[in-house]
A and B are shown apart, each in its own frame.
Chain A
Amino acid sequence: MIRGWWEGVTRRMAEEIDVEIKHLTVQTGTKTVINDVSFSLYKGEVLALVGESGSGKTMTALSVLDLLPPELERVRGEIFFNGRNIFDMGREEIRKIRGKEISMVFQEPFTALNPVMNIGTQLSETLIAHGCFKPTPSKVHGPWSIVPAFAKASEGRHGPIMSDQLKHLLSTVKLLDNVLTAYPHELSGGMRQRVMIAMALSCGPSVLILDEPTTALDVSIQKEILDLIKNIQKERALSVLFITHDLSIVNLIADRVCVMRQGKLIEIGMKEKVLNAPEHEYTKMLLGCIPRLGDTRERLPCF
């Protein structure tokens, strides 16, 4: 076991690093939210960030994009992306990285989509922000298309958002074209999460941060979304930082696991090693919390 783990470490060391977090410490007033966290995300791997609520997983992810809420202050630490410290970058520089190089998908697909914007427009926003939107006006359907003036007017209205580029984006997440003209409230949770993934992938980022992307979904949809993520990750060799508290998902999707608790990094290592032979007590306890069939325990262990 130890040998396997060591091999994993040496193998990883030879590979390229995408995002490197060094001694990140974030505070709000006197409370330390993230305490001296350091880890790296290697090219093409899926790193699962595990921990209970409030352990600083999401804040770590938001720091990578320099989007910490204003009440949180970064006291110390650097985050390197492609060898450059993102905290040294100008506002415009970091904006160009967000969505184009590093994308993020949130936990709640219900609130992460703008309720008054249709899906096509929302998808195009990321592309427009990075100057890679190619609108292709399409033919107009419906009774009004008989009248040339109306056909022309409605072409302007629906044409760009029905562009081939957006249709292609939707097809990568296995959604149909008619979703483009729909509003978020007309879609189911799974569909919205697919839209979020499509949006995150639209500019071809190399790093994808997934913040509990399946937590708000029911189990069967979870499976579909996870398969989708897994496939896309393999296809594009994405580096994925997968935040979750569900160890069964970790087992399914991750290459390496990183355990956090109360803002501290507790354990990091290859999935097999952390899940089968955890070193730290807290990790053991987390694993002990997975409910099993026929389990008769009444209380969950506490740490």
Chain B
Amino acid sequence: MNFRILFGSIIIASMALAAIFAPSIAGQDPLKTDLSGGECLKAPSLKHLMGTDNLGRDVFSRMAYGTRVSLSVGFIAVFISLILGVVFGAVSGYFGGWVDNIIMRTVEIVYCFPTLFLIMIIITFMGPSMINVMIVIGLTSWPGLARLVRAEFLSLRERDFVLAAKVQGVSNLRIIFRHVLPNALGPVFVSATLSVGTAILSESSLSFLGLGVQIPTPSWGNILSSGRNYMDYAWWLTLFPGMAILLTVLSFNLIGESLREYFDPRLVGRGN
């Protein structure tokens, strides 16, 4: 557990620091092109830690600024979907009946659309921008979470401690959010951490298609997608953003696991 939370936190913390202090660590303007011959597609060196891209821009600077985009899209989108998913899932699972019916049918309708196409359609109407990407990813990714929360609530609401809380006169709202929800948080957090990764990937796909973060502004997604043309001889253009996405997703998962143990004291001390 110590190793996992240490590794995850270090990676996420350094990503977050890179995002916050992007201007000071970047060293060079991420938007400054240098087409004066020799500067395009340079391999990593001391001057350009992660090399340069086809327009002679410093990849390290672009990565640092891209971290801002990717992390904030990941976090905010998941935050939106977490709120929607938890509230709808909890209400649906706890009350059951017609409330459950309405919410779950809505979830199924949202599920019917292929997510990426739905996002694309909405983005074409709303116009591509970072904020729109966050909102749309958040609005389309809550149904899975809602189902998960509902499933947890369906089994938890039958437990004696819920009846005991009712008998003691605790209100339904308080039972849902204070008594039952903490018991359901484990899988929710694991799922949310996975969603951060998925959201970052969705953002990359949208940026790749030109519907996400617009081109001169760097994001991991569009650095990766612009690097794909030069994959044969400029590995640094795809390796670094790819590794960044991989490490970030991995770290979120490791932290999610540790959080699960924190929220569920019964698991502490089991295994190592």
Contact = CB atoms under 8 A, between A and B. Distances in A.
Contacts of B168: 98-99, 103, 125-126, 129, 199-200
Contacts, number: 77
A96 B179 contact: no
Interface string B95-125: 0110000000000000000000000000000
B4 to A, nearest CB: 21
A196 B266 contact: no
Chain B, interface SS category: helix
Chain A, interface SS category: loop
Interface residues of A, number: 30
Contact of A100 (B166, B169, B179): B169
A114 B171 contact: no
Interface in B153-177: 159-161, 163-171, 174
Contacts of A96: 169
A40 B248 CA distance: 65
A114 B165 contact: yes
Contact of A129 (B161, B171, B183, B266): B171
B263 interface: yes
Contacts of B166: 65, 67, 98
B167 A196 contact: no
B265 interface: yes
Contacts of B165: 114, 125
A293 to B, nearest CB: 36
Contact of B163 (A67, A97, A117): A67
Interface stretch (A11-19, A105-113, A273-281): A105-113
A183 interface: yes
Interface in A1-58: none
Nearest to B96: A70
B29 interface: no
B179 A114 contact: yes
Given A126-B169, A129-B170, A113 B179 contact: no
Q: In this complex, which of B159, B166, B182, B183 has the most chain A Cβ atoms within 10 angstroms of its Cβ?
A: B166
Q: In this complex, which of A112, A115, A116, A130 has the most chain B Cβ atoms within 10 angstroms of its Cβ?
A: A116
Contacts of A284: none
A116 B183 contact: yes
Nearest to B182: A116
Contacts of B265: 115-116, 183, 185
Contacts of A95: 169, 171
B263 to A, nearest CB: 7
A241 interface: no
A112 B161 CA distance: 4
Contacts of A200: 168
A104 interface: yes
A126 B165 CA distance: 8
Interface in A55-74: 65, 67, 70
Given A95-B169, A99-B168, 7 more contacts: A95-B171, A96-B169, A108-B160, A112-B164, A113-B164, A116-B183, A129-B168
Interface of A: 65, 67, 70, 95-100, 103-104, 106, 108, 111-117, 125-126, 129-130, 183, 185, 196, 199-200, 203
9 A-B pairs with least C-beta separation = A99-B169, A99-B168, A98-B169, A111-B160, A126-B168, A114-B161, A112-B164, A112-B160, A104-B167
